[in-house]
């Protein structure tokens, strides 16, 4: 189930794969699994599904974004900017953006639509996801081992994190609106 939860993130971005990994590592700290097994069983399916999304978007993405619905989601001018971004930054952009929850899910899609080569897209996704999930497993395991102390220290931080997430969503929304309505 952990692997499926981590894989679905690339197909349905709102699915929180990070939470799945953290929870799996938390359970591993309780003696229900080994942390390295949680890492492996979440990392590999996540990268496999990212590469499947990459491949499908490479094959069919351009055609989709030429449809009426595709143009509503991403204007051709915006698509050209994404393509230029990947031409300029490529593997480096893919690597670093895989560390950003939310953005991580669209990286394979846009890399495929922009026709970034499979190795140039796949290697940074593999490495970045491995590092990120390794970090999350260490964090989740540490949380599981120290849960009473953590509960005591961080009582109401969920509300603060919700405000941060809302602010980030507003910034992305403003960027999307402004980039869509700028003059060519």
Task: State the Cα–Cα distance between residues 4 and 49, nearest whole angstrom.
Answer: 10
Could you tell me the two tokens for 55?
């491949």
Q: Are residues 130 and 160 in the same domain?
A: no
Residue 122 host element (H or E): helix 118-145
Could you tell me the two tokens for 93?
């952009």
Q: Are residues 142 and 164 in the same domain?
A: no
For residue 173, the enclosing domain spans 155-184
Task: State the Cα–Cα distance between residues 184 and 164, nearest whole angstrom.
Answer: 32
Q: Are residues 20 and 96 in the same domain?
A: yes
Task: State the Cα–Cα distance between residues 110 and 54, nearest whole angstrom.
Answer: 8
Q: Are residues 84 and 134 in the same domain?
A: yes
Q: Are residues 93 and 115 in the same domain?
A: yes
Among residues 114, 119, 54, 124, the alpha carbon closest in space to that of 84 is found at 114
Q: Are residues 88 and 143 in the same domain?
A: yes
Greatest Cα pair distance in the chain: 58
Mean of per-residue pLDDT scores for the chain? 87
Determine what percent of the chain is predicted with pLDDT higher than 70.
96
Q: Are residues 162 and 71 in the same domain?
A: no
Sign for the pseudo-dihedral over CA of 12, 15, 18, 23: negative
Q: Are residues 22 and 34 in the same domain?
A: yes
Task: State the Cα–Cα distance between residues 138 and 22, nearest whole angstrom.
Answer: 9
Q: Are residues 97 and 142 in the same domain?
A: yes
Task: State the Cα–Cα distance between residues 116 and 162, nearest whole angstrom.
Answer: 34
Q: Are residues 164 and 131 in the same domain?
A: no
Q: Are residues 128 and 173 in the same domain?
A: no
Total structural domains within the chain: 2
- pLDDT at position 184, please? 52
pLDDT digit string (tens) for 23-72? 889 888 888 889 999 999 999 999 999 999 999 999 998 888 888 888 88
Q: Are residues 6 and 46 in the same domain?
A: yes
pLDDT digit string (tens) for 133-175? 999 999 999 988 888 787 767 766 767 788 888 999 999 999 9
Quick check: 119 pLDDT over 70?
yes
């Amino acid at each position: 189930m952990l692997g499926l939860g981590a894989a679905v993130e690339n197909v349905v971005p709102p699915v929180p794969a990070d939470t799945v990994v953290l929870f799996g590592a938390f359970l591993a700290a309780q003696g229900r699994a080994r942390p390295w097994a949680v890492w492996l069983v979440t990392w590999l399916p996540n990268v496999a599904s990212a590469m499947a999304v990459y491949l499908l978007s490479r094959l069919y993405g351009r055609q989709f974004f030429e449809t009426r619905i595709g143009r509503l989601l991403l204007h051709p001018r915006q698509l050209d900017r994404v393509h230029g971004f990947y031409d300029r930054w490529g593997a480096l952009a893919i690597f670093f953006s895989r560390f950003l929850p939310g953005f991580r899910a669209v990286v394979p899609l846009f890399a495929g639509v922009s026709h970034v080569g499979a190795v140039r897209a796949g290697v940074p996704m593999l490495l970045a996801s491995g590092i990120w999930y390794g970090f999350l497993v260490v964090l989740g395991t540490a949380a599981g081992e120290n849960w009473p102390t953590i509960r005591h220290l961080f009582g109401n931080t969920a509300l603060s994190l919700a405000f941060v997430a809302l602010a980030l969503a507003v910034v992305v929304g403003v960027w999307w609106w402004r980039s869509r309505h700028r003059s060519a």
